Amino acid sequence: MRAFERGYYLLFGRSGLRVALYATLLLAALAVVEGLVHHLAPLLYALYAAGLFSILLAVDRAVVNPRRSYYVAAVSTAATAALDVAFGKPPLAFALVGAIVSALVIQSLRCELPAFVLPLAFAATVYYAMGRPVLAVLALSYALVIYGLKPVIRRWAGGIDAVCMFSSFIYSVFAGDDGIEDVFRELGRVERVPLHVYLVGGRHVVVVSDFHPGPFRHIGGGSLVDVLNREVEGTGFRFTFLHGVGSHERDPVTGEGVRKIAAAVKSAVLEMTDGRPPQGVRPAEVVSGDVKIVGFSLGTAPHLAVVSRLRSASDDIPLWVAKRVNPGSYLLVDAQNKFDGVVQWLEEDVKALSEGLRVLQGSPQCRSFSVGVGKVGGEALDPLGHEIGPGGVSAIVNECDGERALLVVFDGNNLDWGLYGKIVDRYRRRGYAVVEVATTDTHRATGVGFGRGYRIVGEHIDHGKILEAVDLAVAEAERLLGPHAVSYRRVEVEAEVMGEEGFRKIQRAVRIYKRVGGLVLGAVFLAPTALVTLFA
């Protein structure tokens, strides 16, 4: 799973606006340099960029608006100018290379149609007008090369149209939206997936979602936590998200699916008027082999079984693992709170989880039970939301027969282990019998970290400031602690998800990209660069 996210970072971890601005500055500088020898260079580059801009608008103006067309045209023209200067060629000698960039973007919009040849035909026209018929023929023939690569790469990728996927990625970079969702939709399948909705004290909603909040930033379920937080809190409630079971195979693949999920949750919350006095079970921490389970009640069954690891990384509870164990009156929750270690679920780990759950079933019912939930927004801590998203920091406190337990939830993707230890030690010293920390596993910022493809909570933000925010959330939860009525509802939503087969295909595509991506990029970009150098 980590390799999958690192692959996403390699493919998708860029900002379109930033790239376009850098490209514009670079183009301006290169045009000046080229203009020292060829006085018409700035004008020629401007006309070339305008031509690409017009083609992009003509292909699909509803999607590629003027701003996005500018992004693509700026990068395409900058690539052309950079090669012209680097190889000492006259202006637009490398018009073919820039046209290929635009062609790939157009292909992402019209994968099954030959519209991508338009920039290549434009490059051929430019070459012909400049008296370079050999390069004009090369530009037209190169359209056949790109088209011919598609079935070959598709076979390598196990049926995925990887060329279309790569093109869609380039478009998504420039557009900053869901342009790549069509590719994932082809891989996905419709599944009915549960979400567990709790309403505590008529004011705070806690959702345990078996939809996985991925795959990536603005793509599909990458915005799931953000959208749920916005929609639920927009109705006047507070909101906390927890991830249940499953991994990327349960990623919603479209924004439409995410909106459908949010609508179902919001509808359920607005109908939850059947709250009852809380009936909790005693909180417990069970260690079995490499698995730790914290039993934590919100005041009604199913209670939470928050699963983490001791030596291995805490990273998703696979569906096959969940199917092998019996949680009884508990609900499996992915703590996602330890990045260090190997991502693995061995047979012995499944047995350990099963044994731990069996022990939890013996937790006694509380004679008196209180619960309180506090929350602090994440904007002050992390304005860009790279480590902590808009869901901020939640603290859930329960008290069973005078004994208190605490569950802290960060809207982030995994956790710095040092920060985890500080939080647990801090509140155990304050008298809490059980303390656990979890993250939402949001993928809202996947692609902004280095190496792993995202930033974990506590990676860059000062731990002292994070602890202050936790203190504020806990203080609010303690202040609100009481025998509040609690409602529960299981909500099932049919939505397009990546599916196990689609997930395997994407994993295979990422592995192939890492092996032969350089070869493909060479065929797409380096080969025409070499040919233009030879014939220009």
Question: pLDDT tens digits, residue range 185-224?
Answer: 666 689 999 999 999 999 999 999 999 998 776 677 889 9
pLDDT value of position 184: 63
Higher pLDDT, 155 or 127: 127
Q: What is the rounded average pLDDT of the residues 143-148?
A: 73
- With a pLDDT cut of 70, the percent of the chain lying above it is 80
Which pLDDT value is given to residue 520? Answer: 60
Per-residue model confidence as pLDDT tens digits over 417-436: 999 999 999 999 999 999 99
pLDDT for residue 457 is more than 90: yes
User: Is residue 9's pLDDT more than 50?
Assistant: no
Q: Is the pLDDT of residue 348 over 90?
A: yes
- pLDDT exceeds cutoff 70 at 172: no
More confidently predicted of 13 and 167: 167
pLDDT, mean of residues 117-130: 93
User: 297: which residues sit within 8 A by CB, 6+ positions away?
Assistant: 280, 281, 283, 303, 304, 366, 369, 371, 398, 400
Residue 71's pLDDT band (cuts 50, 70, 90): confident
> Tell me, what amino acid is at 337?
N
Indicate if the pLDDT at residue 440 is higher than 50.
Answer: yes
Distance of CA 466 to the CA centre of its chain: 23
**Structure confidence by residue, pLDDT tens digits, 317-340:** 999 999 999 999 999 999 999 988
Spatial strand order in the sheet of 284-288: 284-288, 291-296, 303-309, 330-334, 238-243, 204-209, 189-200, 486-497
Whole-prediction pTM: 0.75
pLDDT band at 11 (very low <50, low <70, confident <90, very high): very low
pLDDT value, residue 325: 97
Is the pLDDT at 32 greater than 80? The verdict is yes
Whether 452 has a pLDDT exceeding 80, the answer reads: no
- 84-93, 123-132, 521-530 — which is least confidently predicted? 521-530
Inter-CA distances, 530 with 131, 146, 536, Å: 20, 16, 10
Lowest mean pLDDT among 16-25, 304-313, 502-511: 502-511
The average pLDDT across 275-287 equals 96
* Structural tokens at position 164: 């279309």
Q: What is the mean pLDDT of residues 118-123?
A: 93
pLDDT at position 461 is: 95
Strands 219-220 and 215-216, bridge-based pairing: antiparallel
